[in-house]
């Protein structure tokens, strides 16, 4: 469903994403991990059509995001890591607006919006301006907006940030149910336990390149970590020295 081929993004002499090739099939929840500055957000923003690749291609359901952006984006929902939403719209108006961007309106959108707001405990806040929402409430609203138009693919950057435990649990169930229905999610997160428990496959990037790719078992085998969890695999692949150095700094 998501097909990346030799995807590259350069900013002057700095290469943020370096020849990334990856396929996420329909019905998969894919975890996209990596240390800070690894190129995760840049990759996701290229998939969402916000940034143009320097070279390489992004296909959503077989449609090239650069060549036919409207058709590709119609299949997609995007949840960014630092969302800003129109402060002077109410929650329900924001959902209507997002649905409108996908040419959807009417009773179906109203019904879906109400369901999503109720799911995330935002129903009482539906007619309040977004400017009065807390960080977590905004995050819930953004997540709702990504589902309101029923996309086939959701690309999500750090979805758990700011969510309370109940909302985090709802989101996990929602993601799983959504994928079980044949849709696709590509998710970047630093919460390794979340990735380990939720994702069907995981890709680890560092320095803009894909370092490891596979199911948990495949990653354990490639990192030779026995039965260890994702944290050990992640540190092994991305440089566990950094963690040791951190301990030394704290002891100093």
Partner 1 sequence: MPDQAAAVGDELPNPALLHLLGPKWLTARARAMSGERGRGARFTLLAFLGLGFWAFIFGMLYRMLVYFRNATDIGALLAGKLLGLMLVSFMSILLLSNIITALSSFFLARDLDMLVSAPVDWLRLYGAKLLETLVHSSWMVVLLAVPMFSAYGVAYHGGWLFPVIVVATFLPFLIIPTVLGSAITLLLVNIFPARRTRDILSLIAVLAAAGLVLLFRVLRPERLARPEGFRSLMDFIVLLNGPTSPMLPSEWVQQAVMGWLRGPFDLLPFYLLWSTAAASIVLGALLHRGLYARGYTKAQESAQTFARDGMMRKIIGAVLTPFGVRRRELVLKELRLFFRDTTQWSQLILLAVLIVVYVFNIKYLPLTGEGLTFFIVNIVPFLNLVLAGFVLASIAARFIFPGVSLEGRTFWLLRSSPLSMHDLLWSKFWVGTLPLLTLALGIVGTTNFLLKTSEFIMWVSLFSIVLLTFAIAGMAIGFGTLYPQFETENAAQIPTSFGGLLFMMASVAVIGGTIILEARPVYSYLSARVYNTETSTSEMLIGFGLAATLCIAATIVPIRFALRRLETIERG
Minimum distance from CB of 104 to partner 1 (Å)? 7
The residue from 4, 40, 42, 144 that contacts partner 1 (CB under 8 A) is 42
- Between 91-101 and 135-147, two packed helices, what is the crossing angle to 10 degrees? 30
Residues in 87-146 that interact with partner 1 by CB under 8 A = 88-90, 93, 96-105, 127-129, 131-132, 145
Nearer to partner 1 (CB atom), residue 85 or residue 191: 85
CA 236, 196, 207, 139 torsion-angle sign: negative
Quick one: which segment of 46-54, 111-119, 170-178, 198-206 binds partner 1 (CB under 8 A)?
46-54
Quick one: which segment of 24-32, 64-72, 187-195, 214-222 binds partner 1 (CB under 8 A)?
64-72
The residue from 27, 61, 80, 207 that contacts partner 1 (CB under 8 A) is 80
The residue from 26, 52, 67, 135 that contacts partner 1 (CB under 8 A) is 52
Which CA distances in Å does 224 have to 86, 206, 221, 227, 229? 48, 19, 5, 9, 12
Nearer to partner 1 (CB atom), residue 81 or residue 200: 81
Other C-beta atoms lying within 10 Å of the C-beta of residue 173:
12
Which among 148, 147, 129 has a CA at the least distance from the CA of 138?
Answer: 129
Reading the block at residue 221, the tokens are: 């085998």
Nearer to partner 1 (CB atom), residue 44 or residue 216: 44
Which CA distances in Å does 234 have to 130, 144, 199, 244? 37, 30, 15, 14
């Amino acid at each position: 469903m998501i097909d990346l081929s030799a995807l590259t993004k350069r900013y002057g002499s700095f290469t943020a994403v370096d020849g990334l090739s990856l396929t996420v099939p329909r019905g998969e929840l894919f975890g996209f991990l990596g240390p800070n500055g690894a190129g995760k957000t840049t990759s996701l923003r290229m998939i969402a059509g916000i940034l143009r690749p320097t070279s390489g291609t992004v296909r959503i359901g077989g449609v090239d995001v650069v060549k036919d952006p409207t058709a590709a984006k119609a299949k997609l929902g995007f949840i960014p890591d630092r969302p800003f939403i129109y402060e002077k719209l109410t929650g329900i108006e924001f959902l209507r607006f997002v649905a409108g961007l996908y040419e959807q309106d009417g009773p179906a959108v109203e019904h879906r919006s109400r369901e999503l707001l109720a799911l995330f405990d935002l129903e009482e806040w539906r007619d309040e301006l977004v400017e009065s929402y807390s960080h977590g409430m905004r995050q819930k609203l953004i997540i709702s907006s990504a589902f309101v138009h029923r996309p086939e693919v959701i690309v999500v950057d750090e979805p758990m940030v700011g969510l309370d435990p109940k909302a985090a649990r709802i989101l996990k169930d929602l993601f799983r149910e959504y994928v079980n229905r044949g849709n696709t999610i590509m998710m970047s997160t630093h919460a390794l336990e979340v990735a380990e428990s939720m994702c069907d496959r995981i890709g680890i990037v560092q320095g803009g390149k894909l370092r490891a790719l596979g199911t948990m078992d495949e990653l354990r085998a490639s990192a030779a970590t026995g039965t260890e969890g994702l944290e050990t695999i992640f540190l092994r692949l991305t440089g566990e020295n950094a963690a040791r150095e951190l301990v030394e700094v704290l002891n100093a």
